[in-house]
Structure formats: C-alpha cells, structure tokens
Structure 1
C-alpha cells in the first residue's frame, strides 16, 4: 500500500470529474432518458414558475420523503470528457451513499457521515476525503444530506409550478458545477442534469428505483484492497 499526497492526484482528479461531476451530477437533455422532462417543459410553456420559497418547500417535501433509495443508473457526459457509464447506486440519510460504476470500467464512491472514498480499480487508487468539505455543495447532498439545509447551499427554482422539475444553482463560487436540474415522477427522483464548471453537461437516468428500502450499513463502508495507492485529501 502506498500513501500519496495531493501532489500525486492527477489521475484521481480525472476520476472525480467523471464520477462526482458526472455520475452524481446530472444529464444532457438529448438522450431518451431525459426526453420526459423536456416534453413536460414544452407542454407547460404557459405555466407560471413557482416562487423560490415555494420551490424550496416543494423540493424539500419530495426529498424528505426519500429516506433511502436504490437504483440502476445510466450516465452520459458531453464535453471534453465525453463518455457513457452504467452502474448501481444506494443512498440513505443522513449522508450515506454508494455509487458504483460497472461499465465500461469499475469505479466506486462510498460515503458515510464522516468520510468519503473514491476507488478506481483500474488505477489501483483509493482517495479518502472529508464528507463535510466535499459533499456540502455537490449533488450528493440532494439525495443523502439534510433536505432542510439544501436552500442554504443552493438557489432553488421550479420553472413550472405544476411540474416536479427543479433547477438549482449553487451559492458557493467554489462549487464544481453551475446548475443542476432534478426531475421526479411518482414521488421518485428519476433523473438529474448537470452543467459543470468544465463546460460539460452530464445526464443520469435512474431505473429500477426502490424508494425507502432497508439498506445494510455495510453498503456504506469501504476498506481499500491490499496493494492500492491511498490518497488523503
């Protein structure tokens, strides 16, 4: 096992851009998975937007009802680091999530209330980060954090009051993305759309969604395999 510092993280930074900026972030509205919210916006062209306060309350209610969730995901990124990924995810409040990319390469994010691991099997690297400093302004907060605190980190808008479609703008200048949209169907989050600070747009469609299942705590624990490089940030 090798312990690395921040000076040795170029490859891991690329990984984080793919996973955190992409997989946990959202989706370009060109795939079939994103057609539904685009149609909703077109059909509701004359609907009035909700006020920011109402939008925050509506989103808070939806997210509060999502205490845990498992799903498959398909992710597409358009931009400098274009690519497509598929995998599985699990989230459970507070601050527990597992995001596992299975194709075309195996990558894993595991987080609990105190730490977050980013593991790349091909690179044989595992990066450990502090959850508080990394998750506060990321899309992961939406599904695993405290819903009542989301409006402290994001400006929340609901372009059409009769649609469960929300666009969020981070209040922090240091956030890794410029805007994030989130769509719900039947009370379930079904897709996310992210425009990041690198000029990329990433799309995620969730499928086989299970809302509020029982998830074992072991899903949110990670022990680096023997021989991998460990990076502390």
Structure 2
C-alpha cells in the first residue's frame, strides 16, 4: 500500500463506503479488482444536482473488508479524493488530513491501566458492552467535536484532522471539517455528498443511500450485537475529555479489516468517547469525541447540501 493510499483513508470510511456501495455486493466485487474503476457520471450543479428532500428510512449492513482502490488519474475525469476523505468505494477507515511537517517524535507511552482480575474480565466486559448497546438504543441524535489521528509505524508517519460531527437517526449525518476548513461529508436521508474544496473546489461526489438501511448510523455499525461479534476484555480505566472511562479491547470473531478495536466507555452514561482501531498492518486509527451531547434537536437544514455553482457532480 503506497503513502498516498494510506493518507487518503478515513477512520469511518468502512461505514461511509458501505453507504457509497448501498450494500451492493457486485459493487464490492468490482472494487476488489484494481483494473476496474468506479463508475461515475459527471454533471454540473447548474444542471439540477441539488440534493433531494430527505425522507427515506435507513437500515444497517455490515462493514465491508478493507480494499484500497487504485489512485484515480486526473486525465480520466474521475473524482480524486483528498488525504482526509474516502475515495469512491474506498472502504478503509478514518484518516487525518496532512502528515506532520516536523519529524515524528515518539511520546512517552501511557501508563498501563490496571488489569481486572482474569476471572472477572469476561463477565465485566460483557456487562459493559450490554450497557453500551442499551445506551445507544436510546440515543436518537448526537453532536460532538472530533479529532481523528492515524499512526503508520511502517512509514513513521502521523496525520490528524479535526471538526464537528452530527448524527440524527435513522438517516442524517454530517462531518464538518475545521482542519482542513470547508471540507464536508453529508447524508441528507436520500443522498450521500462528499465535498473537499481543500482538494478540488469544483468537484462533488454523490451516491444514493439504499432505502431500508442504516448505513449512516456509525455507532451502530461498530456497536450492534457487540457480545456476539467480539471477544472482549476489560483493561481498566482512563480519563477521556475529563471523564472516567472503561477501556475495553474487542477482537472480531469473524474476518474484519481490523484486527483489534479498543473503545473508551464513559462510566457515567456508557457512551463511547474514543475508538481506536488497529489494522492488520499495525496502522492505528483513533477517533475521539469531545463535548459530546446526545438527544439534541438537529434540524433538517443542518443536513442539507447544495453543490457550488459550476461544480461537477460525480454520480455513483
């Protein structure tokens, strides 16, 4: 995997890619073949590429295995995704924006959390995961500041991006980047929009959201049926955003693009404050929520998107 491919992947991209594919297994199969480019059709915003009024309900397909699409070439007219955003049909998770310009300096390792006794680990972890699942069952909306980080030991590279994230079930989602400023990912209930002016201000990517799915319900993608999907271990407690949190290590029981997932679960409300994914190649991707609020009023207008005049809209 080359440097550019690593840099353009996002922590949440397996989920975003599921939305882009609409659960279409044939599309997934095509993306496995590096000779087969994604099928996109350019249009202009002046030709009626404004988003449709969102109303369709959504369901929840499983995340697809990680497959990195070949680098698109400008000469082909196909969309080119920026370092911090997923390429079309690029199913690898969340990444940051730019590599740090200064040399990577290894920080002192965090003191290991106190281990729970072995005879208590399984039951305690399972009980916490049950509470997490129950908590998310009662959450209808959320908003937070986010920080995404990617560490690639093989390349000695660290990258980072920041912004705000909003979600309203079942089918509204918004990632609004402050670094790089202006970039945005929006699900309006019917369409999924990706606009990266930091990379190309005249290019917009659009895909349809499959009716009856929950492709934009990001927490549900990771946290539904956790005790059936993961072998879990409780590793003690740490502080995240000023709040004490349980640290759980989850190992997928079935084939997955990641070998291990760690989550930091708030001891007070059982919300997940931080995700950390370790991939098969030992790259580590972290997503942290700060100033997290749940069940807040989020109007439809927040999730609307109109392509800039003159921008090409690449329809999936």
**Does TM-score exceed 0.5, indicating one fold?**
yes
Residues 1:131 and 1:120: Cα distance change in structure 2 (over 3 Å): same
**Do the aligned partners of 2:175 and 2:184 also contact (CA within 8 Å) in 1?**
yes
Cα distance in structure 2, aligned partners of 1:77 and 1:121 = 22
Check the 8 A contact 1:70/1:211 in 2, yes or no: yes
1:97 alignment counterpart: 173
User: Quick check: 1:72–1:209 contact (8 Å CA) kept in 2?
Assistant: yes
Cα pair 2:186 2:194 within 8 Å, conserved: yes
Q: Is 1:42 matched up with 2:116?
A: no
Q: Is the counterpart of residue 3 in structure 1 residue 81 in structure 2?
A: no
Contact 2:126 2:232 in 1 (8 A): no
Larger radius of gyration: 2
Mean Cα deviation higher: 214-223 or 199-208? 199-208
Counterpart-to-counterpart distance in 2, 1:31 and 1:101: 26
Q: CA deviation at 1:156?
A: 3.1
Query: Measured at CA, do residues 232 and 2 of structure 1 come closer, stay the same or move farther in structure 2, by a change above 3 Å?
Result: closer
Name the CA distance, whole Å, in 1 between partners of 2:225 and 2:167: 20
Is the CA contact (8 Å cut-off) linking 1:91 and 1:97 kept in structure 2? yes
Aligned ranges 1:206-217 → 2 under 5 Å:
206-217=289-300
Show the counterpart of 1:184: 265
Question: Taking structure 1 as reference, are residues 3 and 167 closer, same or farther at Cα in structure 2, changes over 3 Å only?
Answer: farther
Matches within 5 A, 1:25-104: 42-47=113-118, 48-50=120-122, 57-79=130-152, 82-104=158-180
What is the CA distance between 1:146 and its match in structure 2? 8.1
Structure with the higher fraction of residues in strand conformation: 1
State the shift of 1:120 in Å: 0.5
Shift in alpha-carbon separation, 1:162–1:92, aligned structure 2, 3 A: farther
Give structure 1 stretches of 5+ with no counterpart: 25-29
Deviates more, 1:43-52 or 1:69-78: 43-52
* Greater helix proportion: 1
Cα 1:170–1:151 change in 2 (3 A) is same
Q: Does 1:159 align with 2:233?
A: yes
Change (3 A) 1:231 1:168: farther
Cα 1:226–1:180, aligned 2, differ >3 Å: closer, same or farther? Answer: farther
Which has the higher relative contact order, 1 or 2, with Cα contacts under 8 A spaced 6 or more apart?
1
Distance 1:224 1:168, change over 3 A: farther
Q: TM-score, normalised by structure 1?
A: 0.70
Tell me the matched-pair count: 216
- 1:55-106 CA-partner distances (Å, limit 9, x unpaired): 6533311212332111111221112674111111111211321111111343
Residue pair 2:196, 2:204 contacting (<8 A) in 1 also = yes
In the alignment, which residue of structure 1 is the partner of 2:193? 117
Q: 1:101 to 1:54 in 2, by over 3 A?
A: same
CA contact (8 A) 1:93 1:146 kept: no
Within the alignment, does 1:205 sit opposite 2:245 as a pair?
no
Q: After the TM superposition, which of the residue ranges 124-133 and 209-218 deviates more from structure 2? A: 124-133
1:16 to 2:95 alignment: no
SS in 2 for 1:213: coil
